[in-house]
């Protein structure tokens, strides 16, 4: 089996797209006409929730499939519905995987090593059950938080090596308060630069045949200056770039995120795609999401070519 970075590159070339559709759907943002179509008064609220959440996101995936290299599932939007949400997440992950999309779990997980191992078993690897190993999810990659240091990251890196999976470590995030900690200076370096140096180290043993590491960085689209610095430290890592559109990140700035081959990034867009019906065709959310994903893909391609 190919390394994660090689599979990603293969898919990017095939799709001519570095766009990732972010599945961040809340039930209250699903259009009324769609809810009415599926809501069954004979069923419980929870059963209706599960059906509608799955059916809406499934159609979004169908609609954008042609324009995206993968999908990123934001854990929070499934966790808010407790284990019912996770049941839907599991089905959607399989659905996207069957369409040969790259599937990312955005859980920003981390903990002490024994707990981190549990997370990694769940999302990248296998969980021991009665002497057997069970694979619960089929994600290709996960996002992690580096705050606990190397021992909290090692279980994920080991599973990346073993199962040819990918990791995106938060290095410089897109949110307004990212500077609170990430921009602290330690001697002559920003904290995010020190984290990037660690990401380089953690990914040294999982380099694919195309020369890219399977351990990448999350770098917010709102942070072009930081992106230039991080690219110097991580010349052969993929950046997962969230924050274009609603958060203010500009597609034109993506030229500061790419590597010397104009590669090395995947760019997430969530709300602009899943709720595109609010800006495009109100009565047809699938068409709207298709049009939005096509337009975002084309503008990204123009900005980085
Ligand atoms: O620095 C970060 C890290 C993760 N995210 C996640 O990406 C999406 C962005 O959603 P949009 O609707 O396209 O703004 C969301 O899931 C965040 O949790 C991020 O935005 N910034």
The pLDDT score that the predictor gives to residue 157 is 98
The pLDDT score that the predictor gives to residue 281 is 82
Confidence of residue 91 (pLDDT cuts 50, 70, 90): very high
What is the Å distance from ligand 1's center to 40 Cα?
Answer: 33
The pLDDT score that the predictor gives to residue 250 is 98
Q: What is the pLDDT of residues 101-147, one digit of tens each?
A: 999 999 999 999 999 999 999 999 999 999 999 999 999 999 999 99
Taking the CA of residue 25 as centre, how many other CA atoms within 13 Å lie in the half-sphere pointing to its CB?
29
d(CA 285, CA 302): 26
Share of the chain above pLDDT 70, in %: 100
Least Cα distance to 74 among 63, 95, 88 occurs for: 88
d(CA 206, CA 81): 35
Share of the chain above pLDDT 90, in %: 99
Interacting residues of 67 by C-beta distance below 8 A, sequence separation 6+: 15, 17, 19, 290, 293, 294, 296, 297
Ligand 1: residue of 270, 278, 300 to mutate (most ligand atoms within 8 A of CB) is 270
Ligand 1: residue of 72, 173, 230, 242 to mutate (most ligand atoms within 8 A of CB) is 242
- Regarding the beta carbon of 173 and ligand 1, being less than 6 Å apart is answered yes
Nearest CA to ligand 1 atom 18: 74
Q: Tell me the C-alpha to C-alpha distance, in Å, between residue 271 and each of 2, 26, 168, 296.
A: 32, 10, 21, 12
> Average pLDDT, stretch 7-12?
98
d(CA 120, CA 107): 11
The pLDDT score that the predictor gives to residue 242 is 99
> Average pLDDT, stretch 70-75?
98
**The CATH number of the domain where 148 resides is what?**
3.20.20.70
Q: Tokens in use for 67?
A: 């324009």
- Regarding the beta carbon of 271 and ligand 1, being less than 6 Å apart is answered yes
> Average pLDDT, stretch 146-159?
97
Question: Per-residue pLDDT for 170 more than 90?
Answer: yes
Residue whose structure tokens are 């990659």: 141
The pLDDT score that the predictor gives to residue 272 is 98
> Average pLDDT, stretch 42-51?
98
Q: What is the pLDDT of residues 258-280, one digit of tens each?
A: 999 999 999 999 999 999 999 98
Least Cα distance to 71 among 159, 11, 111 occurs for: 11
At residue 100, what are phi and psi to the nearest 5 degrees?
A: 65, 30
> Average pLDDT, stretch 79-100?
98
Q: Which residues are catalytic?
A: 108
Confidence of residue 282 (pLDDT cuts 50, 70, 90): confident
Residue whose structure tokens are 């994903």: 293
Q: Tokens in use for 182?
A: 């990430």
Does residue 110 sit in helix, strand or coil? coil
Specify the DSSP element, H or E, that contains 129: strand 127-129
Range in 131-145, 240-254, 276-290 with the lowest mean pLDDT: 276-290
Mean pLDDT of the chain: 98
The atom of ligand 1 lying closest to the CA of 74 is: 16
Write out the residue range of the structural domain in which residue 175 sits: 4-304
Helices (H) and strands (E) in the chain, counts: 12, 12
Alpha helices in 31-183 (DSSP H): 32-38, 45-64, 75-79, 82-98, 113-123, 150-163, 179-182
User: How deeply is 104 buried, as exposed, middle or buried, from its count of CB atoms within 10 A (0-12, 13-18, 19+)?
Assistant: buried
Q: What is the pLDDT of residues 178-237, one digit of tens each?
A: 999 999 999 999 999 999 999 999 999 999 999 999 999 999 999 999 999 999 999 999
Question: Per-residue pLDDT for 304 more than 90?
Answer: yes
Task: Provide the domain count of the chain.
Answer: 1
Q: What is the ipTM of this complex?
A: 0.99
């Amino acid at each position: 089996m190919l390394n994660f970075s090689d599979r990603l590159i293969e898919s990017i070339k095939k799709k001519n797209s570095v766009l990732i559709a972010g599945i961040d759907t809340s039930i209250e943002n699903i259009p009324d006409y769609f809810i009415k179509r599926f809501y069954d008064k004979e069923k419980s609220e929870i059963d209706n929730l599960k059906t509608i959440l799955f059916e809406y996101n499934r159609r979004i995936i169908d609609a954008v499939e042609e324009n995206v290299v993968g999908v990123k599932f934001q854990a929070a939007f499934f966790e808010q519905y407790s284990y019912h949400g996770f049941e839907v997440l599991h089905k959607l992950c399989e659905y996207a995987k069957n369409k040969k999309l790259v599937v990312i779990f955005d859980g920003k997980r981390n903990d002490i090593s024994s707990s981190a191992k549990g997370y990694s078993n769940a999302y990248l690897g296998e969980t021991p059950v009665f002497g057997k190993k069970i694979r619960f999810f089929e994600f290709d990659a996960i996002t992690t938080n580096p705050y606990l240091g190397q021992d909290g990251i090692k279980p994920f890196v080991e599973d990346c090596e073993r199962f040819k999976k990918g990791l995106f470590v938060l290095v410089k995030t897109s949110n307004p308060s990212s500077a609170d900690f990430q921009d602290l200076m330690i001697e002559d370096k920003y904290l995010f630069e020190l984290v990037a140096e660690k990401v380089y180290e953690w990914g040294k043993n999982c380099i694919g045949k195309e020369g890219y590491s399977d351990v990448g960085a999350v770098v917010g689209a709102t942070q072009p200056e930081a992106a230039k610095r991080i690219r110097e430290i991580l010349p052969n890592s993929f950046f997962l770039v969230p924050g274009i559109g609603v958060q203010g990140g500009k597609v034109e700035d993506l030229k500061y995120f790419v590597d010397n081959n104009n590669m090395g990034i995947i760019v997430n867009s969530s709300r602009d795609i899943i709720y595109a019906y609010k800006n495009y065709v109100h009565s047809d959310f699938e068409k709207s999401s298709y049009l939005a994903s096509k337009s975002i893909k084309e503008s990204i391609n123009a900005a980085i070519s």
